[in-house]
Amino acid sequence: MSKKESFRTEIRLSGSGGQGLMLAGHILADASVIDGYRVTLSKSYGPESRGGASRTDVIISDEEIYYPEATRFDCLLALMQEACDKYVYDVKTKGILIVDTTHVKNVSVMNTKVYELPFTNIAKEKLGSVLPTNILTLSFLVKITKAVSLESLEQAIRETVKPAFVDLNIKAMNLGYELADNYEK
């Protein structure tokens, strides 16, 4: 994603309640603030604390952002099949789709660059927990899309997550970068 004179990047993180997407969205928005951009972060979720459809939209721009929800995505992250089915057609032409193949088995798209990895399983195997899947996928997304700088992302993670989980999440972040680098090869 190149940042032109005037840009507006719309990113939707979607999945199910409990997957940490609200936190991931917050970190991404925080990182864009550190980078000096304008940003809005809006959320949509059900009344339940786990389960149910959940999404968070981050819009990064250098101009005033009026409508705070993403309508045409430069990047869509889908951690669940339902989320992927529901939003995939609103990804921009030449936009980016990132899916977690642990939960998303069927992706039908054209003209969209798709990155498929079993993020949840990778987190379980390499980090010993599914909890940092959100940071793993977010850092993968940031490395691929260059939506924010890596320094800002790391700073935002360190400032946002609870002190006891900083190390685990930084590990997840580095693993996300690694996955992205290897994917591009």
Partner 1 sequence: MTTKKTEKKSGKKNVKKRVLLQGNEAAALGALDAGVNFFAGYPITPSTEIAEIMATELPKRGGKFVQMEDEIASICTVIGGSLAGAKAMTATSGPGFSLMQEGIGFAKITETPCLIVNVQRGGPSTGLPTKPSQGDIMATRWGSHGDAPAIVLYPHTVKETYELAIRAVNLAEKYRTCVVLLLDEVIGHMSEAVTLPDVSKYRVVNRIKPNVPPEWYKHYDENQKYLSPVASYGEGYRFHVTGLVHDAYGFPTNNSNEAAIMMHRLKKKITFNIRDLVQIESFHMEEAEIAIFAAGIVARSAKQAVIKARKEGIKVGLIRPMTIWPFPDDAVRKMLKNVETVIVPELNQGQMIHEIERLAKDKDDGKIIKMQMVNGELITPTQILHKIKEVN
Q: Which is nearer to partner 1, 3 or 43 (CB)?
A: 43
- Give me the least distance between CB of 30 and partner 1, in Å please: 5
Q: Which is nearer to partner 1, 32 or 102 (CB)?
A: 32
56 within 8 A of 22, measured Cβ to Cβ: yes
- Give me the least distance between CB of 117 and partner 1, in Å please: 28
Amino acid at 11: I
65 counts as binding partner 1 under rule CB under 8 A: yes
- Alpha helix stretches (DSSP H) within 36-165: 81-87, 119-122, 133-145, 150-160
Binding flags for partner 1, 19-48, as an x/- string (CB under 8 A):
-------x--xx-xx--xxxxxxxxxxxx-
130 counts as binding partner 1 under rule CB under 8 A: no
Q: Which is nearer to partner 1, 22 or 88 (CB)?
A: 22
CA separation for the pair 169, 122 (Å, rounded): 14
51 counts as binding partner 1 under rule CB under 8 A: no
Which DSSP category does 131 fall into?
T
Q: Which stretch binds partner 1 (CB under 8 A): 59-67, 88-96, 121-129, 134-142?
A: 59-67
CB proximity list for 105: less than 8 A, separation 6 or greater:
81
Instruction: Return contacts of 159-167, CB within 8 angstroms, 24+ apart.
Output: 159/30, 160/23, 160/26, 160/27, 160/30, 161/23, 161/27, 161/135, 165/131, 165/132
State the virtual CA torsion across 161, 163, 165, 169 in degrees, nearest 10.
Answer: 60
- Give me the least distance between CB of 119 and partner 1, in Å please: 25
- Give me the least distance between CB of 78 and partner 1, in Å please: 19
Q: Which is nearer to partner 1, 121 or 155 (CB)?
A: 155
- The site for partner 1 (CB under 8 A) is made up of 26, 29-30, 32-33, 36-47, 65-69, 71
